[in-house]
Amino acid sequence: MTKLPKRTIVGVLVAALLIVAAIFFQQQGNGGNGDAFELRRSEFLMSTVVEALVYTEDEALGQEALSAAYRRAAELEAIMDRHQSDSDVAKINAAAGQNPVAVSEETFEVIRQGVEFGQMTGGAFDITVAPVMELWGFGSGENRVPDDEELERALELVDYRKIHLDEERLEVFLEKEGMELDLGGIAKGYIVDQALLTMQEMGIESASFDAGGDIRVLGIKPDGTPWRIGIRDPRDRTNLAAIVELDDQSVVTSGDYERFFMEDGQRYHHILDPDTGIPTRGLTSVTVLGEDAITTDTLSTGLFVMGLESGMELIESLADTEAIFITDDGQVHTSSGLDDQVEIL
């Protein structure tokens, strides 16, 4: 038997060890996510499909966290939905022009922030837009184009500056009879934040919560990579217009393609200019990236109303907040801080 040189034996041993190590790490790898379980859940809430994803090494904790997040979301929806007659918002609306109504801390906080975003966007974002929403049949009833006189009358009731807030007593009062709050452009964002924070407080470090495109992620993925989120092409549902990378952030898109009706070849969608009461034109979608979902939800709606020029000016003035505007001729415009986080397709 010929004796193998020592170098060869060492070489074979090292190679064998590498193979064993490779097999070991491959088995460990759960889609490259180490020991973490990938848990997914999907429920219908806030008139949309809400999808949550958790990475955790503790499966029982992950399941518990998911349940708690959905419970919290459902509980908040029940107090902020103006169509549920015993909600805080329904009570405020019913007492408009008559008396202030005491509400939960959460409802008060959302309305307080709604007023602040109204100021920030110069009134483009206005949570008192409900009377005009109703005219167009966005909310309850059939979609139809209202006439000028109807619009004029309803617009007299739209003004976020006529919301009175009493911080001490957590009371909300709408100055004029007939005024109505609609938290449709802000509550979803707040609820996404609260759902994710609920999971975080339970010890979850990597998760995402997606309420029909209102998305916030916690941390990064266990394999060390950021979350990658596709932004839909507004005129082709099957296509993506861009991909953004998120690290402990939120992204929300407002578009003219989610809720709309067509009449005489015109598209009428559900984001209204509070000055005219008419669905805005010029943009087909606005995507906002930021630290929390209440900000990105609100600003995506607000910037959509403001349009490309003033919208871009506002977003450039805000720290840690970026945007992608898509115009009705298909052009994509991104704010200056976004370059390394977005891939335009």
Pick out the residues of the known binding site for Mg(2+): 185, 297, 301
Minimum distance between the CB of residue 185 and Mg ion, rounded to whole angstroms?
A: 5
Strand-pairing partners, residue 54, are 39, 207
Nearest to ligand ADP of 52, 187 (CB atom): 187
Is 81 an interacting residue with respect to ligand ADP (CB under 6 A)? no
- As a whole number of angstroms, the distance between CA 303 and CA 20 comes to 55
83 CB neighbour count, 10 Å cutoff: 12
b/e 253-280 (16+ beta carbons within 10 angstroms → b) = bbbbbbebbeeeeeebbbbbbbeebebb
Stretch that binds ligand ADP, among 2-10, 68-76, 183-191, 235-243 (CB under 6 A): 183-191
301 binds ligand ADP (CB under 6 A): yes
Q: Which residue's CB is nearer to ligand ADP, number 41 or number 259?
A: 259
What is the chain's length?
Answer: 345
Closest residue to Mg ion, judged by C-beta, is 301
Q: What is the x/- site pattern for ligand ADP, positions 302-341, by CB under 6 A?
A: ---x------------------------------------
| Cβ-Cβ contacts under 8 Å for 77 (sequence gap 6 or more) | 45, 46, 187, 191
In sequence order, the 6+-apart residues with CB closer than 8 A to the CB of 60 are: none
Task: Name residue 19's amino acid.
Answer: I
Is residue 184 part of the contact set for ligand ADP (CB under 6 A)?
A: yes
Q: Which of 129, 174, 179, 204 binds ligand ADP (CB under 6 A)?
A: 129
Q: Which range of residues in 25-33, 105-113, 148-156, 300-308 is near ligand ADP by CB under 6 A?
A: 300-308
Under the rule (CB under 5 A), what is the footprint of Mg ion?
185, 254, 297, 300-301
